[in-house]
Amino acid sequence: MWFELFKFELKYRINRPETYVFFGFLFLFSMVGVDFIFQGVEIGLMKKNAPLVIAKTMGAITGIFMIMVSMIMGVPVLRDVQYDIEPLVYVNPITKRDYLLGRFLGSFVVLLLIFSGLLWGMMVGSLMPWHQPEQMLPFNAFSYVQSFVVVVLPILFFGASTFFVTGMLSKKLLVVYTQGLVLFVIFLLTKAITHEYLQGLLDPFSLTTLTQVAKDWSVEDSNTLGITLHGILLHNKLLWVALGILILFVGFRQFSFSVPAKKGKKSAVGDTVMVQENSNNDHPIPKVSQQYGYGAQYRQWFELIKFYILSLLKETSFWAIVICGIVIIISNSVNLGTVYGVDSFPTTHFIVAELQEMSLYFFIAILLFYSSELIWKERTIKQYLLNDAMPVTNVMVLTSKFLALHGIYVVLMLTLIVAGILFQVANGYYHFDLKVYFSGFFLEILPFLTLYTCMAFFFQVIAKNKFIGIFLTLIFFIVNVGSEFLGFHHSLYKFGGQPLGTYSEMNGYGHFLAPYLWVKAYWLVFGSIVIVLSALLMNRGAITPLRKRMGTLRHQLIGRKGLFLTFAVVVWFLLGGYIFYNTNILNTYWTSEQEKAFRANYERTLKPLEYLPQPKIIAAKLAIELYPKTRSYDIKGTYQLMNTTDKPITAIHIQKRLASHLDLKEVIFEGGAKADSTHSEFDYIMYHLSTPLPPKASLQMDFKQSFAPQGFEHDPSDTQLVYNGTFFHNTLFPSLGYNKKYELHHPVERLAMGLPQRSNKATIENENELIIARSGSDSNGIMLEVTVGTNKDQTVVAPGILQRQWTEDDRNYFHYKTNHPIINFYSIVSADYEVQSAMWKPADTPSQPVALEIYHHKTHTYNLDRMMESMKASLNYYSKNFSPYQYQQLRIMEVPRYADYAQSLPNTIPFSEALGFVLDIDDTTDVDMAFYITAHEVAHQWFGMQVEAANVQGKNFVLETLAQYGALMVLKAHYPENKIQQFLALQQEIYDTKRKRATHEPSLALVENQDFIYYHKGAISMYRLQELIGEESVNRALQQFITDWRSYTGKLKTQTDRYVTSRELLAYFKKVTPKHQQQLLHELFETNNELDE
């Protein structure tokens, strides 16, 4: 008998269009599955069809489409209830076992057929021509089948069992819709578990599990090893399959083969009190007025919104989603701008960012389900005949439902805000920045939800049932997000536009806000058009085919609605036109393709000029007028250029910074020159000198540069010039010769453009790079004199000694000048600062006293003492153990969080507001990272400012690793040993994680741009070294190293034009290392052997 039911189920499903729609969708989605799931994830040398990648993609896609499993498996029993035929079915002489078995197996087989779309789709997708051949392994069908069987089948079984049982027992369609989401929520919850094994065991989609399986795999292993059931993966799968069986069993026991409607009614009938029978003729119906004026409509609107909100609040499933959300938010570890394991103070913008991230998924779930619920509610409960005959317009009904849903959003957002404030209170933090709370939700999230709600309403209105409506909305979502991946970026056609840029406490939303608001206004007007159209297309009364409803549009459009639509369309076009005028006419809009082509072209055309002998800048004098309010500037500059080669130089090549609205003019060379504009398309002008510049001679070059942004750009991500917190480097000014930074970097992009591979550091033997200290360096050291004018409320900090500060024309002016050469890499910052200052006087060293200053945002005072303390401690240690400090000032300047680093420049340290200023350091549990980072940056005043390293492999070992060492020693001198161990353990952890993802791992001596080596491994290795040979010996070596190699005055440096490399540094270490430990020294720095713990 069960077989008959089984066959019936199959036949039924074969005739349902959903079966094919699901299959087709999974198939198509899976074709781009790997690219979609792994977009933005660096998989290194792992191939795109490596078994591990396939398995993870399959797991993730199954997770995303769990809702499909629930829609297929949840309905077989429910269907009978829905169509009111359960009494007819249940009275038949079939056993419960046969009935359930037939329905379950039938649906499960269909489910497998549908999900085979995933398997076929991924196989076909891997054969598509858009992949780069070197990113692929030869096609191997077995890896797909194996991953499918091992990863997908068990979780499909679990999902199938669970959803079948819940659908069967709850008999509610909404449960079916929601439960796929619940499983996803469980998945998210497992992410919050910190125990590694447990996390891997409990992850339903086995993503974490797979990561753990492959934990110790090399790249080679990942590309070859198949995914087999063993170890933690086996446990994981056994657990979920066993759970599935258990749920089936319990469900079977619980399911009662009787019509459950009785159950529901029993209680109802129980309290049906027989109403007193009395004639009620003595109750006359009062005369009332029906009003349809504007005032009445407004009240009607209000009442309807209230009613629909209430009706949503009565949904059990709504509370289920809300409670799920609360559980997740509570159980999730809150990440508050954590820096090396230290949390920040729970400032409002951190809390908002966390709440946004965690709640967004729930908002989307609510959007999807309750837009469908609101549109279809009356029809589902068959009340629509009453409602639809009421004298109320479609627009009124639809907009009140629309606003009711917004009411729910707003209430939830307010709840989240209250929760955030409570969290702050619980953590003893009382600066509630309500403005940030409100803008975070109502400016960033709400418009996004509004726009998608418009679309969801539209799709629900045109769809035949809510189920198709949800599906269409989801597809729209995915396509809109995915289109970005295909190169559709422009906010004029990318639905909703871009999210709002980063919030900075210094700069607020800065110049991101205006374009964001314009684009949102544009789309909101579009949304209003969509809503009105939806209202016109809304089904009223009997179901009418969409085509027919469209037919009625024309004569509906006369009158007020038509007028509104015309008006809205006009406004929409005007807004679009305004945006287009700003992004594409006032500014140049570059598609990523255009940009790539330009960069490739730049490289192809100008690369031959890369090492063309050019003079060096030996002095720069700049007069800069900054206008922060308009983000513009005017610069008058003078360079002294000296020929350091041994041949005369006939032409000087000037590269203007590539940016729009940036004007470089009046470039005048002493003695005259003729401009050659052959390469002007790259803003690269060759000036042929009237008289060649002989060796050792110098000449003066004058220029004027101005920048005046017009309107707004499509991508306003340039954050060098902002309202408060302008922070730019001298890279803004004209540079000499070919500029490597404009080259394409990404290997795949380079390949696509037909460019050769590019190493990210020159080899240690490269003669051209050995004589420069920075990529494309134009100088071996300059004397700098700079005068900067800025707004009245801002302070400018530049390198050198402040000569004079004055106010003129209501503007602040600052004149800085260096008294000995500095590296040609410096920054200029301007912001509304407060200053904390102190004086450091050296104890017994020949250094001069040093003025210490921290320029900070007025509320960021938490760690100033720690930073100041660190500056003093660092200066003490370094000047005592390495060499005297070379300047009379040391300044830290806080810069907006767009830059998320700290950086050491001549006597100045720009320090991100995201880094140390708001860290909430608990000295019992945390390492004092504000102290450490400061010490690291101060160390760069030695390693970087005193000694410069050649721009080749190992450069960052010399600069960064030594700075790590210095900071570590300062930390050691100030904090107990256990803090050092805590710090080192964290370094070890980061190193271990990052090296697994790396494409290759060089030794420290030959390190390129791998930060996990020069920072994390570097810190550990240097600590080992000083344990091995003693801190004293290491310092002695470094002292000698600096004496020999310091720029301008070093004993060895003055005899050569090349810069120092890791080879020389290692030689100093070798000299102080006893013979029997030389091997260890070699292992630490010249091999990539694993560090044993």
Partner 1 sequence: MKLVIDNLSKTYANGVKALQNVSLEIPTGMFGLLGPNGAGKSTLMRTIATLQDADEGKILLGDINVQTNKHSLRKVLGYLPQQFGLYPKISAEMLLHHFAVLKGIAHAGERKELVGALLQKTNLYDARKRHLGGFSGGMKQRFGIAQALLNSPKLLIVDEPTAGLDPKERNRFHNLLSEIAENIIVVLSTHIVDDVRELCTQMAIINQGQVVLKGNPLKLMEGLQGKVYQKTINPSELKSYITHYNVINDKRFLGKPRIQIISDVPPGDGFLAIDTSLEAVYFSQINHQN
Asked if 1088 touches partner 1 (CB under 8 A), the answer is no
Site for partner 1 in 313-332 (CB under 8 A): 314
Candidate list 15, 194, 267, 924; residue touching partner 1; CB under 8 A? 267
Q: Which of 95, 218, 228, 291 binds partner 1 (CB under 8 A)?
A: 291
User: Under the criterion CB under 8 A, does residue 383 sit at the interface with partner 1?
Assistant: yes
Residue number with CB closer to partner 1 (129 or 295): 295
Write the CA distances from 142 to 57, 139, 207, 224, integer angstroms.
Answer: 16, 9, 20, 12
List phi, psi (to 5°) of 365. Answer: -60, -45
- Does residue 965 contact residue 1016 with C-beta atoms inside 8 Å? no
Q: Give buried/exposed letters for 734-756 (b at 16+ CB in 10 A, else e).
A: bbbbbbeebbbeebeebbeeebe
Residue 83 in contact with partner 1, rule: CB under 8 A:
no
The answer to whether residues 377 and 426 touch, using CB atoms and an 8 Å cutoff, is no
Minimum distance of partner 1 from residue 287's CB (angstroms): 7
DSSP output for 698-731: EEEEEEEEEE---S--SS----SS-SS-EEEEGG
The answer for residues whose C-beta is within 8 angstroms of residue 703's C-beta and 6 or more apart is: 635, 636, 637, 638, 639, 654, 664, 665, 666, 667, 668, 734
Site string for partner 1, 36-55 (x = CB under 8 A): --------------------
8-state DSSP, 205 = T
Q: Which DSSP state fits 254?
A: H
Candidates 36-44, 220-228, 537-545, 936-944: pick the segment binding partner 1 (CB under 8 A).
537-545
**Least distance (Å) from partner 1 to the CB of residue 75?**
20
Range in contact with partner 1 (rule: CB under 8 A) among 159-167, 261-269, 617-625, 903-911: 261-269
- Number of Cβ atoms within 10 Å of the Cβ of 979: 18
Do the Cβ atoms of 161 and 247 come closer than 8 Å? yes
Judged by CB under 8 A, the number of residues near partner 1 is 52
CB of 178 to partner 1, least distance (A): 17
Q: Candidates 246-254, 385-393, 1013-1021, 1061-1069: pick the segment binding partner 1 (CB under 8 A).
A: 385-393
Is the Cβ–Cβ distance between 70 and 161 less than 8 Å? no
CB of 931 to partner 1, least distance (A): 60
Instruction: Write the burial class of residue 911 (CB in 10 Å: 0-12 exposed, 13-18 middle, 19+ buried).
Output: buried
Query: Is the dihedral angle over the CA atoms 911, 914, 920, 923 positive or is it negative?
Result: negative
Does 560 bind partner 1 (CB under 8 A)? Our answer is no
Among 389, 425, 574, 1067, binds partner 1 (CB under 8 A): 389
Distances (CA, A) of 600 to 407, 457, 588, 777, 1061: 51, 45, 19, 21, 31
Q: Give the one residue of 40, 42, 138, 382 binding partner 1; rule: CB under 8 A.
A: 382
Question: In this chain, which stretch among 390-398, 684-692, 713-721, 959-967 interacts with partner 1, using CB under 8 A?
Answer: 390-398
Our finding on whether 843 is near partner 1 (CB under 8 A) is no
- Asked whether position 263 contacts partner 1 by CB under 8 A, the answer is no
Nearer to partner 1, 92 or 281 (CB): 281
Cα 252 to Cα 88, 156, 162, 759, distances in angstroms = 20, 19, 11, 63
Query: Closest CB to partner 1 among 259 and 358?
Result: 259
CB nearer to partner 1: pick between 562 and 821 = 562
CB of 381 to partner 1, least distance (A): 4
- Under the criterion CB under 8 A, does residue 558 sit at the interface with partner 1? no
Joined together, the tokens standing for residue 1050 give: 């070093």
**Does residue 269 interact with partner 1 by CB under 8 A?**
yes
Give whichever of 271 and 809 is closer to partner 1, judged by the CB atom: 271
Q: Considering the rule CB under 8 A, would residue 391 count as an interface residue with partner 1?
A: yes
Establish if 261 lies at the interface with partner 1 (CB under 8 A).
Answer: no
Task: Identify residue 191 by its one-letter amino acid code.
Answer: K
Please state, in angstroms and rounded to a whole number, the distance separating the CA atoms of residues 98 and 424: 57
Q: Residue 392: exposed, middle, or buried by beta-carbon count in 10 A (0-12, 13-18, 19+)?
A: middle
264 vs 1074 by CB, closer to partner 1: 264
Residue type, 780: N
Q: Is 808 in the site for partner 1 (CB under 8 A)?
A: no
Q: Please tell me whether residue 283 binds partner 1 under the rule CB under 8 A.
A: yes
Q: Cβ 310 to partner 1, closest distance in Å?
A: 8
Q: Is 464 in the site for partner 1 (CB under 8 A)?
A: no
Instruction: Give CA–CA dist 901/894, Å, rounded.
Output: 10
The one among 211, 224, 393, 1077 contacting partner 1 by CB under 8 A: 393
* 544 makes contact with partner 1 (CB under 8 A): yes
- What's the closest the beta carbon of residue 304 comes to partner 1, in angstroms? 6
Q: Which of 138, 284, 428, 846 binds partner 1 (CB under 8 A)?
A: 284
Q: Give the residue, chosen from 130, 194, 273, 1075, that forms a contact with partner 1 under the rule CB under 8 A.
A: 273
Measuring CA to CA, which residue among 797, 798, 891 is closest to residue 837? 891
Q: 193: burial class by Cβ within 10 Å (0-12, 13-18, 19+)?
A: middle
Coil/strand/helix, residue 601? helix
Among residues 82, 140, 332, 387, the one that binds partner 1 under rule CB under 8 A: 387
Q: Which is nearer to partner 1, 268 or 839 (CB)?
A: 268
Which residue's CB is nearer to partner 1, number 40 or number 293?
293
Q: Measured from the CB of residue 391, what is the shortest distance to partner 1 in angstroms?
A: 4
Q: Give the range of 7-15, 475-483, 535-543, 928-936 binding partner 1 by CB under 8 A.
A: 535-543
- The span from the CA of 444 to the CA of 438, in Å, is 9
Rounded to whole angstroms, the Cα distance separating 444 from 455 reads 18
Supply the minimum distance, in Å, between the C-beta of residue 321 and partner 1: 17
Q: Which residues of 234-264 are buried (b: 16+ CB within 10 A; e: fewer)?
A: eebbeebbeebeebbeebeeebeeebeeeee
Residue 385 beta carbon to partner 1: minimum distance, rounded to whole angstroms: 4
DSSP state of 901: S
Query: Looking at beta carbons only, is 265 or 431 nearer to partner 1?
Result: 265
Find the binder of partner 1 among 129, 288, 646, 810 (CB under 8 A): 288
How many angstroms separate the CA atoms of 755 and 744, rounded?
Answer: 9
- The CA distance from 1037 to 1065, in Å, is 8
- Coil/strand/helix, residue 1006: helix
Least distance between partner 1 and beta carbon 467 (Å): 19
Give the distance between the most distant pair of CA atoms in the chain. 119
Per rule CB under 8 A, is residue 1075 in the interface with partner 1? no
Task: Give how far the C-alpha of residue 491 lies from the chain's centroid of Cα atoms, to the nearest Å.
Answer: 19
Q: Which is nearer to partner 1, 388 or 1083 (CB)?
A: 388
Give the nearer residue to partner 1 in terms of CB position, either 152 or 304.
304
Cβ closest to partner 1, residue 386 vs residue 426: 386
- Please identify which residue in 223, 311, 415, 1026 interacts with partner 1, judged by CB under 8 A: 311
Rounded Cα distance, 140 and 221, in Å: 16
Specify the residue, 306 or 1000, whose C-beta has the smaller distance to partner 1.
306
Residue nearer to partner 1 on the CB measure, 253 or 555: 555
Task: Please state the closest distance from residue 290 (CB atom) to partner 1, in A.
Answer: 4
Residues of the chain by 3-state class (helix, strand, coil), percent to 5: 55, 15, 30
Interface residue with partner 1, options 112, 239, 392, 697 (CB under 8 A): 392
User: Mapped to the 3 state alphabet, what secondary structure does 755-824 carry?
Assistant: CCCCCCCECCCCHHHHCCCCCCCCCCCEEEEEEEEECCCCEEECCCEEEEEEEECCEEEEEEECCCCECC
Q: Which residues bind partner 1 (CB under 8 A)?
A: 264-265, 267-269, 271-273, 275-278, 280-281, 283-292, 295-297, 299-300, 303-304, 307, 310-311, 314, 377, 381-383, 385-393, 540-542, 544
